[in-house]
Structure 1
Amino acid sequence: MSSKTASSSIRTPIRIGSTVSAECCRRAVAGVRGVAFWASVVLPLAYLPAAYGAMGFEGAWSALALIAVHMACIVIGHEHNTPSTTA
């Protein structure tokens, strides 16, 4: 009886779950990077209204917050759509 080869070819639920979990995590990270990338592309359009205090931008703190959010989006989204090296 070759129970050793039969048991090694069967995928256990733990292995299936960890594979699914890793794939879900990878896709979630790719989605967040994509949103951050496109937000960093669009956010500079809000600089002009922020400079003039229009559209709810009141004071210097909101302009600094806008710049901080833009920088965070640039950092998070900088690897969007790069080829994956893992196979």
Structure 2
Amino acid sequence: MSNAAPSTSPINPYRLASVCLDRAATGVRATAFWTAAVLPIAVLVALVTGTASQYPTALAGALALNAVCAVVGHEHTPEE
């Protein structure tokens, strides 16, 4: 039996924060990418059913959200 203590490396808080921020950014990019991909379908449904004419502000908001999501999610590459 060995009396040697297991070696533990000190936790670098800057590295931990960097990894956490990177993973959060990846999640935000992925969510924005898929929202930008799917939201136009909902907009088309709203246009076909006439809901868009009843709520033009909601249509404008959906189009603005789609534009923002396209910009934020453009760097996301879905893994196969």
**What is residue 51 of structure 2 aligned with on the other side?**
53
**Once the 2 structures are TM-superposed, how far is the Cα of residue 23 of structure 1 from its aligned partner?**
0.5
Runs of 4+ more than 3 Å apart: none
Kindly tell me the number of residue pairs found equivalent between the two proteins. Answer: 68
Tell me the equivalent position of 2:32: 36
TM (norm. structure 2) is 0.74
| Aligned CA-pair RMSD | 2.1
Q: Distance in 2 between matches of 1:48 and 1:36?
A: 19
Amino acid at match of 1:29: A
Q: Which has the higher contact order (CA 8 A, sep 6+)?
A: 2
Pick aligned residue for 2:72 from 76, 79, 82: 76
Q: TM-score, normalised by structure 1?
A: 0.68
1:20 paired with 2:20, answer no
- Distance, in Å, in 2 between the alignment partners of 1:70 and 1:59 is 17
Gaps of 5+ in 2: 1-8
> Which residues of structure 1 form unaligned runs of 5+?
1-10, 83-87
